[in-house]
Amino acid sequence: MATLQETLAKQIPGLRDEVKGLVKANGNKVISEVTVKQAYGGMRGIKGLVCDTSFVDPEKGLIIRGHPLLEIKHLLPEEGFFLLLTGDIPDKAALKALHDDYDKRAGVPDYVWKVLEAMPEDSHPMCMFDTGILVMQRESVFAKAYEEGIQKAEYWQPVLEDSLTLLARLPELAAGVYRIRYKKGARIPYTNGLDWGGNYAKMLGVTDDESFADLMRLYLLFHSDHEGGNVSAFSCHTVASALSDPYYAVSAGLNGLAGPLHGLANQMCLKWVLGLIDKYGGVPTKEQLAQMTQETLDSGQVIPGYGHAVLRKTDPRYTGFLEFGKQHFPDDPIFKTVATLFEVVPPILGKIEKIADPWPNVDAGSGALLYHYGLTEFQYYTVLFAVSRAQGMLSQMIVNRALGTPITRPKSVGTPWVKNFLAEQAKA
């Protein structure tokens, strides 16, 4: 089978023709309407973006290029990246070529470590990770090619180059952030010939337990993409649409991921669960969990790890993590608490009319698994999410540059405009 680069080069002309033809023949057909509520409400549900890498079905959850996530959970995350980008699962030779390519590109430059080591000790790991990415921006081959006058039809090639370099380096950067921020001793070097998730697990240096590497592989696959409209993907998309290079754009997306309603929810979730165990001196009973859920809601806070803007059923990513925990350490107290919350929280949230989705999302369970292996610094958890999500953001970016997607610029209106529009409508 062809390499990633060759596969894309073969696919792109046909993809361009297909989209061009679609728009030419149907450009004025309406696929979505916008209500006043949507305009004021985070544009929820408006179909105004195209994303071919993945789709989130409200009932079934994440579908990557037609494959429901739990049906492909055996894939390595880098196989998932190949799939996101091309729609094909790589065969052995194509995967080996990708691994060899990563091996050649790996190696976070020394100047990055100097910057990170100079940051204040209480810096958030997400800020350090993002900073590391931004500092490497000077290496962007896309930015250089653009300056030198590259043709629009070729943009995707240096964007792919930057993407592969970034992906090759992100596990090392993220592991380095962990070891610097939490004073874990010398950084552990990248190992040539080891897969992406296995390498990351090794460089973190948390445990030698091989099942931790399996968890990392699962984690890095599960968080990789969630269609185009979530905060990180959409932010990244908007920034990249200005032809900012992948370093700038991924960093922008990850700044959104660092919000507590998005990727930071996994940190918040574990903090909440640990607080529950601490309060009750062990695994709380169902009654105690119900009481604390109610108290958290009454204090005006959200229950982290529950609810979703698109999903209306249990997130299959949560189901996958729950299965992993049940298989490897069903009696771990934190895992047990997380599993019991699944029985307790949805009926309570389900009774609150305004909550559209009472079910657990990806962040409800992942932290308990990481904690079990000794990765207890939960402020760090969003960095793991970030390494994974970079694969989705970059795949979407490469496709968009291949298609020549223009700069993002929706129209905004003011409240007087809305009032006037409604008054005119009432008259008509």
In residues, how long is the chain?
Answer: 428
The verdict on 229 binding ligand AMX (CB under 6 A) reads no
Site string for ligand AMX, 126-165 (x = CB under 6 A): ----------------------------------------
Structure tokens at 408: 């993002």
From CA 224, how far away is CA 288, in angstroms rounded?
35
Work out how close the CB of 263 gets to ligand AMX at its nearest, in angstroms, rounded to a whole number: 5
Nearer to ligand AMX by Cβ, of 249 and 303: the residue is 303
Work out how close the CB of 65 gets to ligand AMX at its nearest, in angstroms, rounded to a whole number: 21
The verdict on 304 binding ligand AMX (CB under 6 A) reads yes
- Neighbouring C-beta atoms of residue 128, cutoff 10 Å: 23
On whether the CB atoms of residues 4 and 86 are closer than 8 A, the answer is: yes
Structure tokens at 112: 């990055």
CA R_g for the chain: 22
* Number of residues this chain uses to bind ligand AMX (CB under 6 A): 21
Nearer to ligand AMX by Cβ, of 203 and 231: the residue is 231
Instruction: List Cα–Cα distances, 348 to 163, 258, 351, 386, in angstroms.
Output: 43, 27, 6, 31
Of the candidates 9, 247, 12, the one whose C-alpha atom is nearest the C-alpha of residue 141 is 247
**The only residue of 82, 240, 357, 395 in contact with ligand AMX, by rule CB under 6 A:** 357
Nearer to ligand AMX by Cβ, of 136 and 174: the residue is 174
Site string for ligand AMX, 259-278 (x = CB under 6 A): --xxx-x-------------
Residue 231 CA neighbour count, 13 Å, CB half: 17
The verdict on 227 binding ligand AMX (CB under 6 A) reads no
Work out how close the CB of 206 gets to ligand AMX at its nearest, in angstroms, rounded to a whole number: 22
Structure tokens at 65: 């290029």
Collapsed DSSP state (helix, strand, coil) of residue 67? strand
Nearer to ligand AMX by Cβ, of 65 and 223: the residue is 223
From CA 404, how far away is CA 270, in angstroms rounded?
41
Site for ligand AMX in 159-218 (CB under 6 A): none
From CA 400, how far away is CA 388, in angstroms rounded?
19
The verdict on 39 binding ligand AMX (CB under 6 A) reads no
Nearer to ligand AMX by Cβ, of 210 and 353: the residue is 353
The verdict on 354 binding ligand AMX (CB under 6 A) reads yes
Q: Which amino acids are annotated catalytic?
A: 262, 308, 363
Residues that bind ligand AMX (CB under 6 A): 44, 261-263, 265, 297, 302-309, 354-357, 361-363
